[in-house]
């Protein structure tokens, strides 16, 4: 059998962080996002 996939893989990440971390990566508590360039270091 074969499997072929194309597109963005789904990846859920959960971690406790402080407000400074959220501000640094322009995130909001409880939100779901699509990763962008500024999230690459994560």
pLDDT tens sequence across 10-35: 777 778 889 998 999 888 888 888 88
Chain Cα centroid distance, residue 42: 8
Three-state DSSP state, 23:
helix
Query: What is the reported pTM?
Result: 0.59
Q: Which two tokens mark 19? A: 């407000």
pLDDT of residue 3: 64
What are residue 7's phi and psi, to 5 degrees?
120, -165
């Amino acid at each position: 059998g074969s499997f072929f996939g194309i597109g963005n893989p789904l990846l859920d990440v959960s971690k406790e962080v402080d407000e400074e971390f959220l501000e640094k990566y322009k995130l909001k508590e409880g939100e779901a996002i699509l990763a962008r360039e500024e999230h690459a270091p994560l």
